[in-house]
Amino acid sequence: AQTVTQSQPEMSVQEAETVTLSCTYDTSESNYYLFWYKQPPSRQMILVIRQEAYKQQNATENRFSVNFQKAAKSFSLKISDSQLGDTAMYFCAFTDAGGTSYGKLTFGQGTILTVHP
């Protein structure tokens, strides 16, 4: 079974600064997807960034980038130029890329990020 671990229950950062959220995972699969989701207090889960395991290049989306270390099974999220709207719970998630029910997401416990003005 896959597991996803986020070891930082809470993080805080000043507006315009950079913050990194950590995530480790465990799997025996060789092909899979990793995700970071953002869940603001309004509760709607929003996809921030996605990484395909077979791609060596780290994914980037504007101010968001990941550091994907496949051998170490590590997948951290870097948020640059933090904005007040980035305040939310962030979840790391994993899914297999094969099988009849691939797409089933396994989530970590979440990290509450607070951006201070």
Minimal distance, residue 73 CB to another protein, in Å: 18
Please tell me whether residue 64 binds another protein under the rule CB under 8 A.
no
Please tell me whether residue 105 binds another protein under the rule CB under 8 A.
yes
Please state the φ and ψ torsions of residue 47, each to the nearest 5 degrees: -70, 125
For another protein, the closer of residues 57 and 101 by Cβ is: 101
For another protein, the closer of residues 37 and 75 by Cβ is: 37
Please tell me whether residue 95 binds another protein under the rule CB under 8 A.
yes
Of 3, 16, 83, 104, which one interacts with another protein (CB under 8 A)?
Answer: 104
Minimal distance, residue 64 CB to another protein, in Å: 17
| Strand 111-116 to 10-14 pairing | parallel
Write the secondary structure of the chain as one string of H (helix), E (strand) and C (coil).
CCEEECCCCEEEEECCCCEEECCEEECCCCCEEEEEEEECCCCCCEEEEEEECCCCCCCEECCEEEEEECCCCEEEEEECCCCHHHCEEEEEEEEECCCCCCCCCEECCCEEEEEEC
Please tell me whether residue 57 binds another protein under the rule CB under 8 A.
no
Chain residues that interact with another protein, rule: CB under 8 A: 4, 33, 37, 42-47, 50, 52, 91, 93, 95, 97, 100-110
